[in-house]
Amino acid sequence: MEVKIARTAGFCWGVRRTVDKVMEVADQRPGAVVTLGPIIHNPQAVARFEVETAQARGLEVVDGTCPYVKYPQAMAQRLSREGYHVVIVGDANHAEIKGVVSYAEGPCTVVKPGGPIPEIQAKKVAVIAQTTCIGADFERVVGALAVRHKEVRAVNTICNDTEERQADARALAREVDAVVVVGGKNSANTRHLAEICRAIQPLTWHVETEAELQAAWFAGCRTVGISAGASTPDWVVEGVADWLGRR
Amino acid sequence: MEVKIARTAGFCWGVRRTVDKVMEVADQRPGAVVTLGPIIHNPQAVARFEVETAQARGLEVVDGTCPYVKYPQAMAQRLSREGYHVVIVGDANHAEIKGVVSYAEGPCTVVKPGGPIPEIQAKKVAVIAQTTCIGADFERVVGALAVRHKEVRAVNTICNDTEERQADARALAREVDAVVVVGGKNSANTRHLAEICRAIQPLTWHVETEAELQAAWFAGCRTVGISAGASTPDWVVEGVADWLGRR
């Protein structure tokens, strides 16, 4: 089969940066290197106390948090200090949002994308977004709050990677006979990519590695597209591409 | 006919305040009292230079601008000083907006409600509204800009009077056999009220005074509703109500 890999498949800028940092630390520092949870979905802010404990014990702490993920944390802190009620458009159960919430030093409300917008008693409201928030969801919440409150300050903390990756996956799904989306079954962004591709090309498969692939899935297919989540390493994507290229 | 007058027909808070002020000045000050244009649609900011000339000549100047109209002017000045590109949702040809624009000390764009939102080259955008702007129009512009720019600061400068007045007119139009909307033919808010009522009750008439009313218009009507623009004096509304009550 001819294999087409989406331009933006695999590691986003921030993930690559963090993984490189861990590799560098492991190469240069003597002794054990430990990450606080899986490095990619690491809720840096939530783990702050653990980090502090580690520092108190004299351990060296390397902060690998993506700057795009740190930005809404800094904004939550700054805007709540300036007297704004902080509204975060995102998933309250996601580690990233737990981190952002932990930085707010005043009232803070998490609004689920597509969900109801609760009544908030505040004159000044600041709105920030999960880095993976879809633009339309942020737009809806900011607009609705702008007519309810005296002042709304919206800081666009969305990372373009998600939308670009989804746009690329959508374009790819339109031009192939089947799609393979590579990435963790527990990765929300990978699952979302698979949903997007499946809506266009019903012959879409979500796998973690090539070990799951079955030749029968691709009967009659001449071209197959590959997309991958932001936390999927290149070597996993390449393993899948090799397997498909040999069919 | 039974005559029902909309709760919010006639002078809004700001117009009443300004008209009272002129009356007070006329009563207390010796000599001539002159207004800079019709006191109600007076573009205070645009006339600033004329005011300054008047002051230089030793004339006493009384500022009767509605505080709700002054507020977006002050915001345009403050936010442009803070480095925001100022966006005003409103009618660029309206005196109020000409006034607000004159206070911006940096780049400023007027976006027509319902119209296209031009591309703006700016990281920080502040959005304010014409006091008579409809909430949904402000919501749309703020939302759209929030995803385009790094920071959007929306200050809700909408005066509730317009929406309350329109909601009352809408409710009234639903329960009567005909509607009379009283106010200047050149008054945008009165014309808009007439449009709203006509969409619900086709038997809607827009008049400036009872002199225009014709008995034939109300043949077979048992109830008639009255709505009036924010700049329509009570005595004009009462003249219309008296005429209709005698039919």
Instruction: Give one DSSP letter per residue of B17-52, joined into a string.
Output: HHHHHHHHHHHHSSS----SSSSTT--TTTTHHHHH
Kindly provide the ipTM of the predicted complex, given to two decimals. 0.70
B230 pLDDT more than 80: yes
The alpha-carbon gap from A166 to the nearest alpha carbon of chain B, in Å, equals 17
Q: Report the predicted TM-score, pTM, of the whole model to 2 decimal places.
A: 0.73
Contact A154 B151 (CB under 8 A): yes
Q: Under a CB-based contact definition with an 8 Å cutoff, are residues A184 and A208 in contact?
A: yes
Residue A220: both structure tokens together: 């009659």
pLDDT of residue B53: 62
With contacts defined as CB-CB under 8 Å, which chain A residues touch B146? 127, 138-139, 142-143, 154, 156
Q: Name the residue of chain A whose CA is nearest to B135's CA.
A: A147
Catalytic residue at B96? Answer: yes
The rounded distance, in Å, linking the Cα atoms of A246 and A106 is 57
Statement: residue A56 has pLDDT above 70? no
Closest residue in chain A to residue B157, using alpha carbons only: A150
Q: Indicate if the pLDDT at residue B160 is higher than 90.
A: no
Enumerate the residues of chain B whose CB falls inside 8 A of the CB of residue A143: 139-140, 142-144, 146
Active-site choice (A60, A96, A119, A151): A96
Residues with Cβ < 8 Å from B113, sequence gap 6 or more?
A: B89, B90, B91, B133, B134, B137
How do residues A110-132 score in pLDDT, each as one tens digit?
999 999 999 999 999 999 999 98
Q: In Å, what is the CA distance from A168 to each residue of A183, A193, A209, B148? A: 16, 10, 21, 20
Partner-chain residue, chosen from B149, B150, B154, that has the shortest CB–CB distance to A152: B154
Compute chain A's Rg from CA coordinates. 21
Are residues B140 and A144, on separate chains, in Cβ contact within 8 Å? no
> Residue B159: pLDDT above 80?
yes
B154–A156: do the CB atoms touch at under 8 Å? Answer: no
Residues near B107 by Cβ (< 8 Å), separated by ≥ 6?
B80, B85, B86, B120, B122
pLDDT band at residue A188 using 50, 70 and 90 as cut-offs? confident
Q: Does B103 touch chain A (CB under 8 A)?
A: no
What are the helix and strand counts (H, E) for chain A? 8, 8
> For chain B, how big is the Rg over CA atoms in Å?
21
Please judge whether A140 and B135 are an interchain contact, meaning their C-beta atoms are less than 8 angstroms apart: no
Stretch B100-125: mean pLDDT: 95
Judge whether residue B42 has pLDDT over 70.
Answer: no
Which of A152, A160, A163 to mutate against chain B (most B CBs within 10 Å)? A152
Q: Do A153 and B154 touch (CB under 8 A)?
A: yes
Distance from CA of A76 to the nearest CA of B (A): 14
- The answer to whether A152 faces chain B, any CB pair under 8 Å, is yes
Parallel, antiparallel, or unpaired for β B151-155 and A151-155? antiparallel
Mean pLDDT along residues A229-243? 88
Instruction: Provide the pairing of β-strand B124-129 with B151-155.
Output: parallel
Q: Are the Cβ atoms of B156 and A151 closer than 8 angstroms?
A: yes
Cβ within 8 Å, pair A152-B151: no
